[in-house]
Amino acid sequence: MKEDSNNMERRPSGPGQERRKPMTRKILSLLIIVACLAVFPFVVENRFYISLINQMLIYGLLAMSLDVLLGYTGLLSFMHNAYLGTGAYMVGLFLLHVAPSSLWVTLLLGIMGTLLLALPVGWVQVRTGGLAFALLTLAFGMMFFTVAWKWYTVTGGDDGLMGVPHPDISLFGWVLGSTGDPVAIYLLTLVVVLLCFLLTWRIVNSPFGAYHLNK
């Protein structure tokens, strides 16, 4: 029992302890990891492993976002994957039906759309806490799943969305690659995950993110 309470306290105070470590060492290790990941597709040219690492990065980002919720505020959400699915469906539907070639608009729309959907859901959910919150997220998650599964005309049900187009990745008129190319989409994922990591890092070390130290 005593050991347990220690465990519970250790988690929230984690980031505070880490900060005492030299900052340069953390930045250096981050740079080394990113560099290794960046050269990976050019060293290992097997497309299977590139897609695999790509997926690992994506689910790593999902886990990181869940950690902001569970690790720092102690809210256990069972519908976190529902937001991943919502974003994916929004991007897929937008590319299919509205604009097949505008990547950045679509990505922005996917994020904003998911945020807009999460706002009322979260507004209801955070009225509770602990077990009630977990059960509520489970119910909402099943609701999202049922809609995606049964709304055949829009989501394609268990067939999924077929033939989502692959827009080009372009920056200020330069075409950097196509999202259909495993290496290009891998590098795009890496950049996005890195940006999200830095953003999350910034948030949890800001006054806003210091909420966890209060608990």
Partner 1 sequence: MSTAVDILFNSLVLGGVFLIVAIGLNIIYGLSRVMNLAHGSLYAVGAYASVTLMSFGANFFVALVIAPFIVAFIGLVLERTIIAPVRKRSIVYTLILTYGLMFLLDGLIRYIWGNEPRFVKLPLFLQDTLPILGTHYPVYRLATLVIIAATMVALMLFLEKTKTGITLRAASTIPEMVSCLGINMKLVHIGAFVLGCGMAGIAGVVAGPLYSVDPTMGHEMLISSFVVIVIGGLGSLRGAVFAALLIGLVQTLAEFFVTDLAMVIVYMLMAIILAFMPRGLLGEGRFE
Q: Closest approach of Cβ 72 to partner 1, in Å? A: 13
Q: Closest approach of Cβ 142 to partner 1, in Å? A: 5
* Binding to partner 1 in span 69-88, by CB under 8 A: 70, 74, 76, 78
* Strand-strand pairing, 168-171 and 174-178: antiparallel
Q: Closest approach of Cβ 98 to partner 1, in Å? A: 25
- Out of 105, 134, 194, 196, the only residue in the binding site for partner 1 (CB under 8 A) is 134
CA distance 213 to 215: 6
138 touches partner 1 by CB under 8 A: yes
- How many residues line the site for partner 1 (CB under 8 A)? 27
Looking at the Cβ atoms of 35 and 143, the one nearer to partner 1 is 143
Distances (CA, A) of 215 to 8, 81, 84, 122, 211: 11, 26, 28, 20, 7
Q: Closest approach of Cβ 90 to partner 1, in Å? A: 19
Here's the x/- map for partner 1, 92-131, by CB under 8 A: it reads as: --------------------------------xx-xx-xx
Taking the alpha carbons of 59, 88, 191, 117 in that order, is the dihedral positive or negative?
negative
Taking the alpha carbons of 157, 160, 161, 162 in that order, is the dihedral positive or negative?
negative
Question: ∠ CA(122), CA(123), CA(127), 5° rounding?
Answer: 100
Distances (CA, A) of 47 to 54, 138, 182: 10, 36, 7
CA distance 109 to 119: 15
Binding site for partner 1 (CB under 8 A): 1, 4, 7-8, 70, 74, 76, 78, 124-125, 127-128, 130-132, 134-136, 138-140, 142-143, 146-147, 150-151
